[in-house]
Chains A and B, each alone.
Chain A
Amino acid sequence: MRRAALALGLVALLAWPWASPRYFVFLASLSVVNAIVAIGLNLLSGYTNQLSFGHAGFLAVGAYTAALVTTRWPDTPIVVTLAVAALVTGLVGLGLGVPCLRLEGLYLAMATLAFGFVVVEAIMNLDWLTRGNDGLRVPAARLGPWALQSDTARYYLVVAVGVVMVWAALNLARTRTGRALLAIRESEIAAQASGVHLARYKTLAFAISAVYTGVAGGLFAFVVGFLSPDAFDVFLSVDYVAMIIVGGLGSVPGSIAGAALLTVLNDSLAGFQSYRPLIFGTLLILSLLFMPGGVARAFRFLKGEQG
């Protein structure tokens, strides 16, 4: 049953560009990119209770890294580019995660918020590298002899990477690290008592979360094609938090649902102009009042399990 559903889902993903208009291919790519960020953020917030308002900053680091690598060395295969983006962002995440260990709850949220601001400031001021406020055009990604220039090509790239990232996140729970994170989610003190090295795993969660967001950032650069500091403001970080909460904390399918839902909603409301934030906000309020715990919990409830 589950296998069949999975297979069906994969086929639908692969067939999407042939079945839908070109614009929706682009929109789907954007949704997948956001879903990867949401999964990464959820690994941090959902598992170790560390709330971050700075993931737009990680996204920016990944995006600019990928864009700069491709600009400097246009022949770099996309896999390498994304790996570099993941590595750089992961290191930044580690750099932020270690000192942030001492912080909890609000304090951590504020420290990450500050990190987001500092990243945007850094992009503006390192203009010899990032072209600052002028913005950076991102050349097409390359895979061997092919340049991924069409929306469809980019979509398949994003989906391929997305599937790997989702698979890794789902299987994380089966590894030692995953079990440690789950234990931390239930109770930090209990986890510590059962021998989980709290500091190590919380830092690791930060780094993994950053790696996810860095990969998403690399994809974001190619999908959007243009980067500027205005793209990564604090409101984007808040959007990601909204995605995982609407989707459901600690749930991988929930993260995907939340990201897809909010991305599509945000897009389809654009035509309402000044009413867009009004409708978006109202829907956000209603969904949380009537669907506490997000999509993931509502789904479990529908299936008759304990919510």
Chain B
Amino acid sequence: MTTAVLVHVVVSGLATGSIYALVAISLVIIYNATRTLNFAQGEMLMISTFVGFTAYQRLRLPLVVVLLVAVVAAAALGWAIERLIIRHAISATHFDVLILTLGVSLVLRAGAGLVWTHDEFPFPALFANRPVALGPVRVAPVSLGIIGASLALMLALYVFFAKTRLGRAMRAVAQNQRAARLMGISVERVYSASWMLAAVVGAVAGILIAPVIFLSSKMGLVAINGFIAAVLGGFGSMPGAVVGGMLLGVLENLAPLYLPSGIKYSVPFLLLIAILLVRPGGVVGRTVRRKV
């Protein structure tokens, strides 16, 4: 393979990797607040993208407004799921909540099929597909656009968690809920905010990836890779989620480039097992002390 091909494939992998990273971040946000895995993350992403799409089709809104519509819809959906379902299971075990979110994902996916059919739809792209020359290599604006937009969102999240009151409250809850409550933080508000924020991050990821993998009721499956990315990075860590996502995206592309067909699709999974075995806390994870 020539260098140009290699660069293209890696950049392309970074683009899908950014999406995995965004999904991983949204999973981590919810996990940090409520200590649950959200199986419905992919379906929440899909629903918000569909709502944006409907706004685009019916009202011919510009794409930036469509993005806004999707984000608002996502926040509402995240709020509703947390408030109406998850909060009622607050005393339940993590396993119970896990299956609750599984139920939510089934309902959302089937519901989307009933409203929008299970067909696939072309989604208007924010960025062009035709390549541009950057020095000796040619790259597609769509890949760069996805990477750029994702990085911008990650930066915004960083500022949010570092500088704002709510962001700091969320971090406090992630570290120690009881202590946070004693400090006067409304943990319930943090739960709500976490689900809403996670849904919003997912919605942006959905709008970014929909032109590439198309809009359909099954696009939420992209969240499986988000899970893997989050674990690769050490579940709970946001920088880890970013690294895990990018790593997975690039590896997924490099494996078919160099390996025979019999093994290439197992590589991300074998790698996941291998990394977990060598570094059980993920690539950038820390070791967790067990409490009695």
Contact = CB atoms under 8 A, between A and B. Distances in A.
Interface of A: 45, 51, 99, 102-104, 106-107, 109-111, 113-115, 117-118, 121-122, 125, 187-190, 234, 238, 241-242, 245-246, 249, 274-278, 280-285, 288-289, 292-293
Given A117-B269, A278-B114, A106 B95 contact: no
B235 A289 contact: no
A103 B98 CA distance: 19
A114 B277 CA distance: 13
A36 to B, nearest CB: 20
Given A106-B231, A281-B103, A285-B107, A245 B273 contact: no
Contacts of B270: 114, 118
Interface stretch (B14-22, B167-175, B196-204, B260-268): B260-268
Interface string B225-255: 0011001000100000000000000000000
Contacts of A121: 265-266, 269
Contacts of B92: 288, 292
A274 B109 CA distance: 10
B272 A114 contact: yes
A278 B110 contact: yes
Nearest to A276: B110
B interface, over-half SS: helix
A246 B103 CA distance: 12
B211 interface: no
Contacts of B39: 238
A274 B113 contact: yes
Contacts of B98: 241, 245
A117 B89 CA distance: 31
**Which of B37, B85, B266 is packed against the most chain A CB atoms within 10 Å?**
B266
Contact of B102 (A51, A115, A238, A282): A238
B272 to A, nearest CB: 5
A107 B290 contact: no
Interface in B267-292: 269-270, 272-273, 276-277, 280-282, 290, 292
B2 interface: no
Contacts of A285: 85, 100, 103-104, 107
Given A110-B227, A115-B273, A281-B105, A103 B280 contact: yes
Contact of A245 (B96, B272, B277): B96
Contacts of B224: 234
Contacts of A102: 277, 280
B165 interface: no
